[in-house]
Amino acid sequence: MKIQELIQQFIERIQTSSHLSPLLPEERVYIRFECENENIIFALSKNGTEKKEEADERRLLTIRGSAEAIHALVTGELKLQQQMRLKELSVAGSFRHMLLLESIFHLGKPYLSFN
């Protein structure tokens, strides 16, 4: 699956998960994923989560890594800081925004149901 499709699924999960809305910031926080030849930006706020073409550099968190590492992050296989320690991902931006995103990834990961 392409990174763009994964990010789109993640955005949809955030929008449909009511338990995440208290975590979302009032002002937009921009998240940029950079991997190989893909560059994806989305804005995250209480007013909605959407894909963007440009970002406010003051409120931008950039995550760089391989497609496999970003896939593991977005699907909840590995945590953001865990991958940073393993040097699979690098993050540039505010520590506060990084912690916020770590929480959203963890609480928004897809869960399997065992019926």
Residue-by-residue pLDDT tens, the chain, 115 positions: 688 888 888 888 888 888 888 888 999 999 999 998 889 999 999 988 888 888 888 899 999 999 999 999 988 899 999 999 999 999 999 999 999 999 998 888 776 545 5
Which amino acid is residue 29, in one-letter code? V
Kindly state the DSSP code that residue 19 receives in the 8-state scheme: G
**The total number of residues written for the chain in this structure:** 115
pTM score, whole prediction: 0.85
Q: Give the Å distances, CA to CA, from 8 to 14, 42, 43, 82.
A: 10, 9, 12, 23
- Give the domain ranges of the chain: 3-107
Phi and psi based region of residue 36 (left: phi greater than 0; alpha: psi -120 to 50; beta: remaining) = left
C-alpha angle with apex 80: 76 to 86, nearest 5 degrees? 110
Distance CA 8, CA 20 (A): 16
How would CATH label the architecture of 3-107? Answer: 2-Layer Sandwich (3.30)
